[in-house]
Amino acid sequence: MRTIQFREAICEAMSEEMRRDESIYLMGEEVAEYNGAYKASKGMLDEFGPKRVIDTPIAELGFAGIAIGSTMTGNRPIVEYMTFNFSLVGIDQIINNAAKIRQMSGGQFKCPIVFRGPTASAGQLAATHSQAFESWFANTPGLKVIVPSNPYDAKGLLKSAIRDDDPVIFMESEQMYGDKGEVPEGEYTIPIGVAEIKREGTDVTIVSFGKIIKEAYIAAEELEKEGISCEIIDLRTVRPMDHDAILTSVKKTNRLVILEEAWPFGNVATEITYQVQSQIFDYLDAPIIKINTADTPAPYSPVLLEEWLPNSKDVIKAVKKVLYK
């Protein structure tokens, strides 16, 4: 397989689907003339033209509404937010229209739309540009939420998201666009709602998703040197969540650590914790530990930001705690 960047995987997925289906179009800030704020739509304006690759004003509420309305006339839009922090300006359209059109129309209308862009922190971007809203969107019936961690998963899941007949929130990371990974030349998709075991292990299950999962990999390598075997599950899709994959793993390891870049109150890790303790409590040999950011807005200071973010040392400490070491 060839090796390509995360941004190239995103571009390939969109381009391949737009060649396959003329009802698909891309719109957002700087997606056309500038080739995308992160170059994830490079060359698409040249190939598909300005009617299908559309630059918008800085008006997230407006172009979200236009895109959602267009689904009701047979289109399948992809909306790019420069960051999901800016989606808050358009969240009324996402929550009150996209997520509810199918139900409120009595099934007469579907809403095949993808909202995509980066989530969470990306260095010193301060409090208002460093937020993770996966749990916000996943809390809403009618939305599917995908957070890939590598180019292969990103391409396969984005193609599935574009083909889905319901609204999908597809969350990337500014710090992953340059990441490289193996991606096949040929056609493939990855089903929405299926997690993947990225590393087999026997002593403890670590569940994570998105870019922060890299810290779990680093921790697992270090722990292996001490004879501790970690199983790492990449959720890939937050909603619908693959509960079976998590439960099966915890039944084997009897211990669970959850790593998520999000504020600690009412997040994805909270939901996983509830599902595990309510369904397989007797399999647990230790309390579940969830690792999150500090319960404050993200700081600008690099020293404070390092303390605020979860890291591999936090994972190692948590693993040893559930193993009573």
Q: Give the active site residues.
A: 60, 129
- CA–CA gap between residue 109 and residue 301 (Å, rounded): 47
**Pair 26, 18: CB distance under 8 Å:** yes
Alpha helices in 123-228 (DSSP H): 134-138, 151-163, 213-224
Amino acid, single-letter form, for residue 151: P
* Torsion angle in degrees (nearest 10) through CA of 191, 196, 198, 204: 170
Nearest 5°: the CA angle 190, 26, 60 is: 110
For residue 151, is the peptide bond before it cis, meaning its omega torsion is within 30 degrees of 0? no
**Which single residue is written with the structure tokens 């598909």?**
48
Surface-to-core class of residue 168, CB atoms within 10 Å of its CB (0-12 exposed, 13-18 middle, 19+ buried): buried
Strands 2-5 and 180-183: antiparallel
Q: Which of 113, 38, 123 is nearest to 82 (CA)?
A: 38
Amino acid, single-letter form, for residue 304: L
* CA–CA distances in Å: residue 223 to residues 220, 231, 287: 5, 11, 19
Main-chain dihedrals φ then ψ at residue 164, nearest 5 degrees: -70, 145
**Pair 95, 101: CB distance under 8 Å:** no
**Pair 261, 292: CB distance under 8 Å:** yes
* CA–CA distances in Å: residue 3 to residues 6, 20, 140: 10, 24, 36
